[in-house]
Structure 1
Amino acid sequence: MTEHRNVNSKKGSVNYKIRLAVQTVVLAAFICLLIFADPIAEKDGAVDIFLCMSPLSAIGAMVAAKEFIVRYWPALIVLATSVFFGRFFCGWICPLGTTLDITDSLLKKRRKNVSYKIYDGKRLKYYILAFLLLSLFIGHQMVGWLDPISIATNAYTIVIHPYFVSLINSFFGFLHEFYFISFVSDPVHAFLKEALFALQAPFFRGHFTFLVVISVIIFLGLFYKRYWCRNLCPLGALFALLSGWSMFKRVVGENICDSCDRCNVDCKMGAIDDTGMKTQAGECVLCMKCQAICHTSAVRFMRKQPTEQDEPINLTKRGFVTACISSAVVAPLLSLNFQKKKSQGNLGIIRPPGSIPEDKFRAKCIRCGECMRVCKTNGLHPTILEADLSGMWTPQLIPRIGYCAHDCVLCTRVCPSGAITRLSKEKKQRLAIGKARINRNRCIPWVGYARLPDLDKNWEDVSCGVCEEVCPVPTKAIHFNTYVHGNGKEIRRVYVREEACIGCGFCEKVCPVNGRSAIVVEGIQPQVIVKDMSTTEGGLFPVSIEQWKRKERTSVYAGKDKLFEYMNGGAEVYLSYSFIQVSTATYIKSNTDKSVKVNIWEFGNSDDAYGIYAKDRAGQGINIGNEAALYENYLWVWKDKYFISIEPYSGSISPDDVTFVGTSIVDNLPSGKVRLPVILGYLPEDGYVQRSSRYFHEKIILDNLYISDRFIEKNVFNLSEQTDAVVADYKSVKSRSPFKLLVVKYTDKHVAEESFNNFVELRESWGEKNLDTNGLHTFEDLKGRFSSIACVDNIIIATFFVETREKSELHISAAVSKAKAIQGND
């Protein structure tokens, strides 16, 4: 080897540094698109831009699906550019190539006994390309397994990002144990979790398979730099076939080169022979390293390369024939679907919402893992053999790990190939991707019902219903078949209304049964739109409110049965008032992604409408209807016998948006003479906390109001639909915390007296001392707080959690005086 000075070509050095900078920026952009995929996809950003750049994936998806996919337009640009610039994509853009450059530099010291001569192993990638293309034409998609962009996406999504997040969590979890460090480390940890969009470390089933794949690709670098790119990458082979027209080919000045062999040793692709003069044009990735290190400035990149400097790849007919025969033999084997045969034609796996029919889905899916990355609940995972070999690495929903969120459509926005079609939120929420099934041998209520003879001897509560509570379907796809025992106890046996089930898997996720869930969702093909289970009526809603347009029809749920269909889990609260019906509609703002959901609840009288309004209201009062409350971008309004709630549905909804829509909706409702419920007039003014009153009839509401440290199981106050009751908060200037005052009005004074006595007996049974003063009973609890109660005709008045006895009895006396005055006027 000729001695030389350590001097670089100035122009070559600049080109080399530019290439390094571009590589760094592109890899950073690739990683950022993966980390910030969720918010970018929410705004319809091009999260899949790198995947759409792969001509190999584009060819694979289009040929397999037998259609042109517009979304792959970046791949067409890359393909056209490669005609002029050869394999520039491999050296400047490919994220897997850049990753291998980094790992190869780390393996440099362990790479020994490397031959720098041109060798024939590089032709293997051409045979792999032929194998993949032929398999496409006979109807089998295998491109996704070997496309470098898909491999890089899976590596960072399924392996690197989760492992990195787990490492961070473990490290900061260790630091958290040290108080003198944790006050600094905990905020840093919180910031990193938010920055990495990983409040919990994502976990992917089958991640070890991908770890093995990427590890093998990396550690092949012990033999040659960029071993994958040199010998195995089918996308590189495709670019190499186009490099013959390249405008930038390596040319060496014969009279300038001193055959120092440095370019041959440093070439990451092994594209330069041991003389430094010849180059395999199809292997050169335009990294510019040879030009940068050439001390004689002999290397140039030009349109025309002397014939004697071109080193061709020695491809053989035998190799291509072997590749074609292998494809013809292997591809049909992928059709042996043992899982489908075992399940009598139904695979049972749950595909993401919007997935096209199974055969086309496998053909179009490029196994990139992008949908898995954006799944908010970490519910999407790669299949291993669940869909047999032909479906390996395609996405499936595993509800026990994560359900399909009702308001999420991110996976439908990031699929580059169209295997998952784009869906609106409204359509997605009505799309059934599976159907839930109850395993009665594991379901708690059904198992309890099966052992009814044992329960007769020793009764225990076997009702569950968690699945019903979380079901997001408006009419509920899970309902109860209630068995009432002779002792009055109930067993609520769950069942699935299959026609309403959308297969989201939320029920399977939350099932409290250990191990395999008692309710299991099975995927269906093809995915279908479930029918609307409600009746429709649009009279209460205007068709448009300036720029806000009402979406299609409105839904009405009238009566007890329909209300249970709409919101089974919380219907009892509304039924404790004089519920008539609830009407729902969605309004969309023109030319934006903004939409709001409007619910109009109708009751038998204005008092009950006020009661529901007062139960839900929060935030500041505003002047709409008879009374209204605004909290951020949520609005609650009471008008006559109606309670109106308006909430954001999609887009960035502002308080002004809901206020504007709410005002118009309320103005459209019929008006009448309205007053607050009479019983609110019994409340003393002194210390009253504004907007704290809760008006109700039955015990179910009182159970949700904190009036005791102990749960009062019995209906001590004899609350029923005939009683009127109100609870309000009070707080004086000197009080450390507020206390509560309850007023209950009965139709019969004997019931009031019985309720009064029940309360006195209850507090005495708790061991509290009864301080009786002329019919006013006061009790002191273990925390030194006082409760008082008095009975005036058909009214009882009670206080809870008062700091002093004097203040407790003072407020009772004030309320008694108001009650007597009102009763006297009546």
Structure 2
Amino acid sequence: MTERSDISVKKGSLYYKIRLIVQGLIFVIFICLLIYADPIAERDKATDIFLRLSPLSAIGTMVAAKEFIFQYWPAIIILIASVFLGRFFCGWICPLGTTLDITDKLLKRQRRRISYKIYDAKRLKYYLLAFLLLSLFISHQMVGWFDPLSIATNAYTIVIHPYFTSLINTLFNFLHKFYLISFVSDIIHSFFKEILFAFHVPFFRGHFVFLLIISAIISLGLFYKRYWCRNLCPLGALLALFSDWSLFKRVVGENICEGCDKCNVECKMGAIDNTGKKTQDGECILCMKCQDICPVGTVRFTYKQPKEQETTLDLTKRGFITACISSAVVAPLLSLNFRKKNSESNLGIIRPPGSVSEDKFLAKCIRCGECMRVCKTNGLHPTLLEADLSGMWTPQLIPRIGYCAHDCVLCTRVCPSGAITRLSKENKQRLAIGKARINRNRCIPWVGYARLPDLEKNWEDVNCGVCEEVCPVPTKAIHFNTYVHSNGKEIRRVYVREEACIGCGFCEKVCPVPGRSAIVVEGIQPQVMTSEIDIIENNLFPLSIDQWQRSGKPKAYAGKDKLFEYINGGAEVYLSYSFVQASTSTYFRKGTNNSIKVDIWEFGNSNDAYGVFTKDKAGQDVNIGNEASLYDNYLWVWKGRYFISVEPYRGNVSPDDVTFIGTSIVDDIPSGKVSLPDILKYLPEDGYIQGSSRYFHKKIILDNIYISDRFIDRNILNLSEQTDAVIADYESDKSNLPFKILIVKYPDKSIAEESFKNFVELRESWGERGISTNVLNTFEDSKGKFSSISYISNFIIAAFLVETREDSESYVSDVISKVKANKG
């Protein structure tokens, strides 16, 4: 019996089966981390572990950024493991390699039919590796374009997952039309949505480019299995260099091998020579296929490999020199961008929140698309040439497609390289990634204002304000400059407060102007916290006014919470108007102890600023701003959207002092064209006490005005932010005490009618005797004073504490006549 007859035929390799199971499980984990990236990142768990496994990305990013990046510790482990285990990463872990194994199997029949072969040279990947590594020292890093983990992530994120789920949706939406099977198909569709589709399935601009790339890589399998891995992959070349020292190598039993050539034919990497005995260790990915198919079981993997079974790859000096020269020529061209050179600022693209400076960002970003995958609004997309050639495939926010959600920080949690730094929600909400700009040639209110002569002939509503409504900044970065026409109509022209704008792009997303938005966000570099921008001074508080010097830096209290810090007891009254912020500062006269306190209150519109002025003012009128009032040494001024109060703080301050300070500050405050609130024109002139009117919206203002001998605790008049109201005092020739007229304008008639009924029911519940005439009801209280109320259209008109019934009803009727005349 021969030596060979003692050898049993090998039925398959256990290690090969283990490798298949491990490879499959790792691939499933990779897919799950992509599909469920959102909820995993929400829990602050790592979804970028695969991207941090790449030694090529680690080296490229660290060299380009000139810093050690600790996040890449898994890549260091892979590199060290490759020294001992060989190029195992490519055969056991790499998701792109697993994808090619699957597609190569599907292309097996077509591959057999193709008689010709394309160029097959394993040395190309080494030359490409040299090209990329040298470019790191010359220009920007390019490894992200060629790293297989970045390519795999982009392929599944931008192409495969969206396309597949779109196909599934289309199929089941079609099946839903058929009544007999729709019940079952809808259940299956819901299952897919929960399991496969995760939280959202975005589509990306430029996805067709990525489709061509991944299709090209897969199509190379028509000529050779794993063509990308064996000939082009620079990460494979890097791992191959370390694998030459591997302690785990392929060994063939010399006296047992039949020379059947099966292992050579089946080796997807072309690592085995024609005899089946020699192996290029740097090319072997330890897939164990040769061991599994060997009919005599002569193949094994061990640390002892005979010298005669080693074979090396033929790398030429000419090839490396060509690669280096190509890198020296091509790499600098990546920096060419004429838009960038011709601009004093930035390219204008919006980077994700937390992005480092642009140069550092281009050095660190590996173009993996992970941040784009988790973007909740589908706002992040790969750049093409917007950020020059060196920035191609890096992420940018396109607000017209999707804005940056105010409470989302997912992109800052999944970046594997530190190109996007981690942010807390609090810091992210204060981080400005861009600034909004108004295009007045497209903005609806501004275009309406520009054609004002035509508008006067045939008035139409040109107000919009959608951008202001959605602005997530607590103090609003978008405000209105209101133009009030002589006919009482308003045009609310929007403008952006750049110091408060965070560049989220929500305004651009919702702008109703078709095509290019009328409000456009431009990216800024570096990104800054809005708290670092001085939103207070804004030239409203000069450093000195003649002999008066400003004391320190002004303080600003923006938003509801901050206002309570400033005036805890009385903030609600000011918040009943469209409060934006209050700024305060003090001035002291040099050489004295005299000091003056100045408060500047900003509101959303001039009407509300006027309302606060009417609430606080006292004394005699003075000619400052739009209106002003001086009482002793206290001054109150209304100018545009601002209400200013000037009062003594310390020492002996005269009325002339506060008037001088107030006038100097008010002159520098912009007002725009303003007019009194429209509702004031309905007040009767006869008996009106000059300066007594109070303009307001909510019940809290009315609570501080005496209109009956009983307190009204319920909001029976349905006063809210949407109502305009005015109350004024009137003289009576029958009494020394004034009576009051109240006018309320509601959004619609039904609220006015309901408020009228509420008032009548309340007075009747007090036991007061009522006299009704049509929709005019009059009541007499316990002190013999009369109150009348009526409604017309969306108005409520009431008179309180009048001496006679005739006067009470007469004044109400007078207002009704004015409302009718105006509507007519």
Looking at CA atoms only, which structure, 1 or 2, has the larger radius of gyration? 2
Do the aligned partners of 2:200 and 2:376 also contact (CA within 8 Å) in 1? no
Distance 1:84 1:383, change over 3 A: same
CA distance in 1, matches of 2:341, 2:523: 16
CA distance in 2, matches of 1:218, 1:554: 70
Do the aligned partners of 2:480 and 2:605 also contact (CA within 8 Å) in 1? no
1:679: how far off? 6.3
Deviates more, 1:212-221 or 1:484-493: 484-493
Name the residue aligned to 1:22.
Answer: 22
* Counterpart pick for 2:719 among 698, 701, 713: 698
Amino acid at match of 1:164: F
Amino acid at match of 2:363: A
1:484: how far off? 1.1
1:307: how far off? 1.5
CA distance in 2, matches of 1:215, 1:752: 86
Tell me the TM-score normalized by structure 1: 0.69
Following superposition of structure 1 onto structure 2, how do residues 74-473 of structure 1 map, counting pairs within 5 Å?
Answer: 74-112=74-112, 121-197=121-197, 201-473=201-473
Name the residue aligned to 2:10.
Answer: 9
* Counterpart pick for 1:559 among 550, 571, 574: 574
Look up the SS of the partner of 1:447 in the other structure: helix
CA distance in 1, matches of 2:436, 2:465: 14
Distance 1:558 1:421, change over 3 A: farther
Following superposition of structure 1 onto structure 2, how do residues 473-622 of structure 1 map, counting pairs within 5 Å?
Answer: 473-531=473-531, 535-536=556-557, 559=574, 563-565=578-580
Deviates more, 1:393-402 or 1:293-302: 293-302
Distance 1:563 1:277, change over 3 A: same
Amino acid at match of 2:530: V
Do the aligned partners of 1:385 and 1:392 also contact (CA within 8 Å) in 2? yes
Amino acid at match of 2:440: R
1:481: how far off? 0.6
CA distance in 2, matches of 1:537, 1:488: 31
CA distance in 2, matches of 1:568, 1:35: 46
The gaps in structure 1 that reach 5 residues or longer are 544-549, 582-639, 643-675, 681-693, 704-710, 728-740, 759-791, 798-826
Do the aligned partners of 2:508 and 2:519 also contact (CA within 8 Å) in 1? yes
Look up the SS of the partner of 2:124 in the other structure: helix
CA distance in 1, matches of 2:326, 2:163: 37
1:277: how far off? 0.8
1:717: how far off? 7.0
Distance 1:538 1:138, change over 3 A: closer
Distance 1:570 1:454, change over 3 A: closer
Look up the SS of the partner of 2:121 in the other structure: helix
CA distance in 1, matches of 2:31, 2:211: 18
CA distance in 2, matches of 1:570, 1:34: 47
Do the aligned partners of 1:559 and 1:579 also contact (CA within 8 Å) in 2? no
How many residue pairs match? The answer is 626
1:292: how far off? 0.8
Tell me the TM-score normalized by structure 2: 0.69
Look up the SS of the partner of 2:355 in the other structure: coil
CA distance in 2, matches of 1:712, 1:569: 19
Name the residue aligned to 1:586.
Answer: none
1:698: how far off? 2.7
Look up the SS of the partner of 1:286 in the other structure: coil
Amino acid at match of 1:565: V
Name the residue aligned to 1:784.
Answer: none
1:490: how far off? 1.0
* Counterpart pick for 1:756 among 751, 758, 775: 775
Residues 173-226 of structure 1, C-alpha deviations (whole Å, 9 max, x = no match):
111222232233234323322333456541100111111110000000001000
CA distance in 2, matches of 1:724, 1:679: 16
Amino acid at match of 1:698: L
CA distance in 1, matches of 2:615, 2:216: 66
Look up the SS of the partner of 2:524 in the other structure: strand
CA distance in 1, matches of 2:292, 2:516: 61
CA distance in 1, matches of 2:455, 2:700: 45
Distance 1:301 1:536, change over 3 A: same
Do the aligned partners of 2:243 and 2:281 also contact (CA within 8 Å) in 1? yes
Distance 1:137 1:725, change over 3 A: farther
Do the aligned partners of 2:578 and 2:605 also contact (CA within 8 Å) in 1? no
Distance 1:19 1:753, change over 3 A: farther
Name the residue aligned to 1:626.
Answer: none
Distance 1:24 1:339, change over 3 A: same
Look up the SS of the partner of 1:245 in the other structure: coil
Do the aligned partners of 1:383 and 1:393 also contact (CA within 8 Å) in 2? yes
CA distance in 1, matches of 2:524, 2:573: 32
Distance 1:277 1:496, change over 3 A: same
Residues 68-90 of structure 1, C-alpha deviations (whole Å, 9 max, x = no match):
00111100111110100111000
CA distance in 1, matches of 2:7, 2:716: 89
Deviates more, 1:56-65 or 1:342-351: 342-351
1:274: how far off? 1.5
Distance 1:373 1:743, change over 3 A: farther
CA distance in 1, matches of 2:20, 2:524: 49
Do the aligned partners of 1:716 and 1:755 also contact (CA within 8 Å) in 2? no
CA distance in 1, matches of 2:221, 2:376: 36
CA distance in 2, matches of 1:203, 1:752: 68
Residues 23-46 of structure 1, C-alpha deviations (whole Å, 9 max, x = no match):
110010001001110111111111
CA distance in 2, matches of 1:524, 1:90: 40
Look up the SS of the partner of 2:422 in the other structure: coil
CA distance in 2, matches of 1:562, 1:108: 73
Amino acid at match of 2:10: S
1:572: how far off? 11
CA distance in 2, matches of 1:221, 1:157: 22
Look up the SS of the partner of 1:111 in the other structure: helix
Report sequence identity in percent: 69
Amino acid at match of 1:112: R
Amino acid at match of 1:22: V
Look up the SS of the partner of 1:258 in the other structure: coil
Residues 486-518 of structure 1, C-alpha deviations (whole Å, 9 max, x = no match):
221111110000110000000000000000000
RMSD: 4.2
Following superposition of structure 1 onto structure 2, how do residues 643-682 of structure 1 map, counting pairs within 5 Å?
Answer: 678=712
Distance 1:16 1:557, change over 3 A: farther
Residues 357-376 of structure 1, C-alpha deviations (whole Å, 9 max, x = no match):
11111011000000000000
Do the aligned partners of 1:538 and 1:554 also contact (CA within 8 Å) in 2? no
Distance 1:374 1:200, change over 3 A: closer
1:441: how far off? 0.5
Do the aligned partners of 1:5 and 1:295 also contact (CA within 8 Å) in 2? no
Amino acid at match of 2:137: F
Residues 707-743 of structure 1, C-alpha deviations (whole Å, 9 max, x = no match):
xxxx9865577699xx89869xxxxxxxxxxxxx986
CA distance in 2, matches of 1:558, 1:679: 16
Residues 301-320 of structure 1, C-alpha deviations (whole Å, 9 max, x = no match):
11121111112100000000
Look up the SS of the partner of 1:494 in the other structure: strand
Look up the SS of the partner of 2:579 in the other structure: helix
1:139: how far off? 3.4
Distance 1:577 1:108, change over 3 A: farther
Distance 1:537 1:116, change over 3 A: closer
Residues 321-348 of structure 1, C-alpha deviations (whole Å, 9 max, x = no match):
0000000000001111222124444200
CA distance in 2, matches of 1:463, 1:494: 9
Residues 804-825 of structure 1, C-alpha deviations (whole Å, 9 max, x = no match):
xxxxxxxxxxxxxxxxxxxxxx
Do the aligned partners of 2:117 and 2:223 also contact (CA within 8 Å) in 1? no
1:137: how far off? 1.8
Distance 1:108 1:70, change over 3 A: same
Residues 428-458 of structure 1, C-alpha deviations (whole Å, 9 max, x = no match):
1111000000000000001111111111111
CA distance in 2, matches of 1:569, 1:67: 48
1:796: how far off? 8.7
Distance 1:573 1:188, change over 3 A: farther
